[in-house]
Chain A
Amino acid sequence: MRALAPIAAVVMALAAVPLLVNSNVVLNFLVVTLMIALAGQGWNILGGYGGQYSFGHAAFFGTGAYVNAILQVRYGVNAWPGFAAGIAVGAALGGIIGVLTFRSGLRGSYFALVTLAFAEVLRIVASVAPITGAGVGTLMKLDLRAQAMQFQSRAAFYWLILALVAASLVIARLIERSRFGVWLIAVRENEDAAKALGVNAAHVKLGAMVVSAAITAAAGCFYVQYFLFIDSGIAYGTRISIEALLTPIIGGAGTVFGPLVGALVVQALGEGAKLVAGDAPGLSLIVYGCILVLVIAFAPHGLIGLIDGARRRLSRVAKLGAAHG
């Protein structure tokens, strides 16, 4: 339980935000940021802890979104079981892709691009299949009731996504401290050595993939509840895949809070760049890109790594100072 204390503290601090801040601009910003953090935490399980970089995590995001939307719009299923179904199907998809790819021994960049290919296949199918509405997409009806998981106040959405993010943080922490986590990290560090030591690498990677997919699918389910519209580009496009990998790496891959920190910083960076650069099209994104490159240059282990490194340096300096009296 003590291990979960930092998570509890952070979540409670974040939960207090809507009580202190009234601005819907900020709340909307934070809702979107938390959703991206959730998608990124999914990626983090597989990529950060497991070392298997996926370039196609949109496959799970989009599947969660579509399943949730289609069940509600076409089959009249209630939003809450629809949400759960989206997560379940996303996880199952993760299992299928995992079985296919890990059994073939795909690794590294090959694995990354195969996941991208899966996401693309799904995008293309979704853009022509009648059940998704094909090119027209799926539009959910505005129904501002809690039963339909739609809320008048942005704060309610905020707490919902925060709860999901909190769950993902707990999952990450539990994995970190479990035997499964040890195996996973072992596979990341040196898969062949881990196998030699008796770790069933394929099973471990598969397990990570399923959990990873479920978490990112949850982000997709949430997207559709919040924006009420999904199409193949939004669901399976490369934008989500990139955000899902960018935020954990920037924040600190393989750490519990990495995706959250990364999402906050990257999103804030985007907004800040807009403030600095103003209305001229493209200028704010140039600033954003430059700062991104600089962040990577100066924080190669992610921001949490940076702070960790600074803390260690400071403690070393303190120790040296103490030693020399």
Chain B
Amino acid sequence: MSDHKIALNRRRFLATTALGAAAAGSVAMPSVLRAQGASAKLGILHPVTGALAYSGQQGRLGATMAVEEINAAGGIKGLGKIDAMLGDAQSTPDGGVAEVEKMNSAGVAGIVGGYASNICLATTQAAARYNLPYVVDVGVADSIVTRGLKNTFRFGPGFGVIAKTALANLAAINDAAGKPAKTVMIVHEDSLFGSGLAKLLNAQLPQHGFQVLETIAHPTPTRDFNNVVLKIKAQNPDLVIPADYYNEYVLLARTMLQQHVKPKGIYSVLGGAASSYKFVKEFPEAAKYIMDCNHWFDPRSAKAQELKKKVEGKGQFFTYEVYLNYSCVHLMADALQRAGSADRAKLTDALASSTFSGHIMPYGPTKFVNGQNQGAAPANTQVLDNDIKVILPAAFANAKPVFPIPA
């Protein structure tokens, strides 16, 4: 078949490559045509399509609500309104990097977002090439802030701090109840956040007097948890510690209910659904008494309650991606104001020296050391009375922990 003998000659090929490259060049030329004017451009980057779409969209929601709020109040003093440039990381690191390049080309002053640790690792690095200040919204891997990148700031806690706090609080809750729990089983998802957390938990649990019976890793997605629950049932631990994403957490909780597996407590660390209003609303039976050590907003903050109402008014759930991103954008805006300009070096310095307390997280004023906000810490919640209550730290708890789970 002569169709297959395609002898290419130079002219024809150059035509196609030129076309391709020209197309590439013209379409990859980004938003230089975007809104000009005395405004501060801010990149808002999230994985709004692909596997992480839900979290990415929630993050974008929180960020854009903050931008709207700031602009409605007149924008940033001396700089004008924030011109937000939205980017889709497509749930992959290279997708994120491509967006960072576009944002840099468009002249953004800084970038907020990333969400997933592996995306953040790549995007912060790409931004570092241009000394572009980058505030990580969620990404909990400790490696994000230990690479010595001057442009990278993380507002929330990393999993080192999360694991430490979770265990200290667990020990406290256990002690207060008379130490009913001794044995533990960990169920974790097997990618970056789950594995990293499980490793830390395994190392630190024995130090607090707990015995880890088994650590069960599972992939995301996992289609069925019956075998995992079988193992839990067989070994009958006092405590089950899950670290999962939302869908798997729900399946696990439902399966435990189905199999009548009732440990003395379910204590999640970064449990995907454990401190989710959606979970509580849709599965009240399975959610009862579950504890979580996770990102949580400051319940004493009137702004937080106001934001919660607004988000729920839009028909969305008030999830951690929303309020973390909301706070990060306000942090960025504050830094811009103090820097007095959209100059990246000045903005980076402003962030590094920031003592911002206008956010809605229970962290106190920000203080960045090597890019990590020192006050950032998770809070302990428990599902009580069909609502999520904060049980620790005592400073702003609004309920007492119920432990062990009543029979």
Contact = CB atoms under 8 A, between A and B. Distances in A.
Given A136-B195, A281-B49, A26 B24 contact: yes
Contact of B13 (A6, A30, A128): A6
30 contacts: A6-B8, A9-B10, A9-B14, A10-B17, A14-B21, A21-B25, A25-B98, A25-B101, A26-B25, A28-B97, A29-B28, A30-B21, A127-B191, A134-B195, A135-B196, A135-B217, A139-B143, A231-B118, A231-B191, A233-B191, A234-B93, A255-B6, A261-B13, A264-B21, A275-B27, A279-B88, A281-B49, A282-B53, A301-B3, A309-B3
Nearest to A139: B143
A171 to B, nearest CB: 16
Contact-residue bracket for chain A:
35 or more
Contact of A33 (B4, B24, B30, B105): B24
Interface centre among B1, B16, B125, by most chain A C-beta atoms within 10 angstroms, is: B16
A134 B192 CA distance: 8
A24 B13 contact: no
B180 interface: no
Contact of A23 (B28, B94, B149, B196): B28
A13 interface: yes
Interface centre among A136, A231, A260, A271, by most chain B C-beta atoms within 10 angstroms, is: A136
B272 to A, nearest CB: 15
A311 interface: yes
Given A28-B97, A267-B24, A279-B88, 8 more contacts: A17-B21, A24-B105, A25-B101, A127-B190, A152-B129, A231-B191, A265-B20, A265-B23
Interface string B308-342: 00000000000000000000000000000000000
Given A142-B147, A268-B23, A275-B27, A260 B195 contact: no
Interface string B128-167: 1100000000000101000111000000000000000000
A254 B148 CA distance: 47
B17 A13 contact: yes
Interface residues of B, number: 61
Given A6-B10, A10-B17, A304-B16, A139 B121 contact: yes
The 6 closest A-B pairs by CB, nearest first: A135-B195, A264-B20, A281-B48, A268-B23, A6-B10, A271-B27
A256 interface: yes
Nearest to A276: B27
A313 interface: no
A252 interface: yes
B57 interface: yes
A229 interface: yes
A32 B191 contact: no
Interface of B: 1, 3-4, 6, 8-10, 12-18, 20-21, 23-25, 27-30, 48-49, 53, 56-57, 86, 88, 92-94, 97-98, 101-102, 104-105, 118, 121-122, 125-126, 128-129, 141, 143, 147-149, 189-192, 194-196, 199, 217, 219
A285 B49 contact: yes
Contacts, number: 170
A128 B147 contact: no
A281 B53 contact: yes
A175 to B, nearest CB: 14
B244 to A, nearest CB: 12
A323 interface: no
A33 B128 CA distance: 22
Contacts of A10: 10, 13-14, 17
B153 to A, nearest CB: 17
Nearest to A303: B16
Contacts of B92: 234, 239
A304 B8 contact: yes
Contacts of B126: 28
A260 B94 CA distance: 19
A260 B17 contact: yes
A185 B17 contact: no
Contacts of B8: 6, 255-257, 304, 308
A168 to B, nearest CB: 15
Contacts of B102: 25
Contacts of A281: 48-49, 53, 56-57, 88
A30 B24 contact: yes
A160 interface: no
A25 to B, nearest CB: 4
